[in-house]
Amino acid sequence: MTLSAKSPNLALAAAVASALSCSAPNAAADLAADLAGAGLEAKVSEWHGFARHDFRLPGDGASCTVVVPGEAAEGRPWIWRARFFGHQPALDIALLERGWHLCYCDVANLYGAPRAVGRWDRFHAFATGPLGLGGRPVLEGMSRGGLIIFNWASANPGKVRAIYGDNPVCDFRTWPGGGSGGKRSEGDWARCLDAYGLGEDAAGTARQPCDPATLEPLAKAGVPVFLVLGEADEVVPVAANADALAGAYRGLGGDVREWRKPGLGHHPHGLDPVGPLLEAILATE
């Protein structure tokens, strides 16, 4: 079903949202009205018992998703997923159950480059403006999602509540570049260089998420970083990515908490049980 500002009766939107939300319909109905008021068409569906709204980012056209809790928590907190929406969703579902919104804005094949950061700037402005969500989301990045969460956070340290990286790429020279024991992906490497406007030689000295210059604004802002790590990762080596980032961040006085999974590789992502990570995120302000 599609809802838009042209729909003659927003009661229909409220009815759909009510049917799909797990408890009180208000948050879902409100979002449907907000999107319609912004002149956007939104496809409404069900996602793990919650109302899911898919739409295009105004002025950009990127695919976006907002999943709505039954009843929004105070301050309308949200978690912002980077890449691989729906993969290992235990944390996302647990936060939805506690009144958080779940958001996604597609930056596929941009690898955290300035174009991706600019797109996320536009989504954040839309989410915190017309949609009325809180100003400081938690950023969630699995695998290559690490590139955008740390690069966007570095450019916007005052707009980030916390960062959760799950076997995150923190240096694109390791993946997709294949350096430092990482797994080479020829197609992704070519697209990554193109996204940054770099040649092969220049990539060797390009600034990375794990560099102190990238992390310093976050450390100064007191943004906590949570890392879930399969220690036997042969795709995105922990030593050259998350460990390098954690060491640099601690060196800057930053707060890092890790959950390490001995013997596990790049997959499966997520923490099982998710409780300790959930509690850490809920304790942030």
- Domains, the chain, ordered by start: 72-282 (3.40.50.1820)
**Mean pLDDT within 81-92:** 93
Confidence of residue 83 (pLDDT cuts 50, 70, 90): confident
Residue 266 has phi, psi (to 5 degrees) of: -65, -35
**Mean pLDDT within 204-212:** 97
Q: How many residues does the chain have?
A: 285
Please write the tens of the pLDDT for every residue from 46-77. Answer: 999 999 999 999 999 999 999 999 999 999 99
User: What is residue 119's predicted lDDT score, i.e. its pLDDT?
Assistant: 98
Compute how many other C-beta atoms are within 10 angstroms of the C-beta atom of residue 256: 18
3-class state of residue 197 by DSSP: coil
* In 30-137, beta strands by DSSP E: 42-47, 50-56, 63-68, 78-82, 101-105
Q: Which helix (H) or strand (E) element contains residue 194?
A: helix 186-196
Q: Which of 6-15, 103-112, 145-154, 177-186 has the lowest mean pLDDT?
A: 6-15
> Over 50: is that where the pLDDT of 220 sits?
yes
More confident residue, 282 or 23: 282
> Over 50: is that where the pLDDT of 25 sits?
no
Instruction: Name 279's Cβ contacts closer than 8 Å, sequence gap at least 6.
Output: none
> Over 90: is that where the pLDDT of 238 sits?
yes
pTM for this predicted structure = 0.91
In the block, residue with structure tokens 């979002």: 31
Confidence of residue 26 (pLDDT cuts 50, 70, 90): low
Cβ atoms of 97 and 120 closer than 8 Å: no
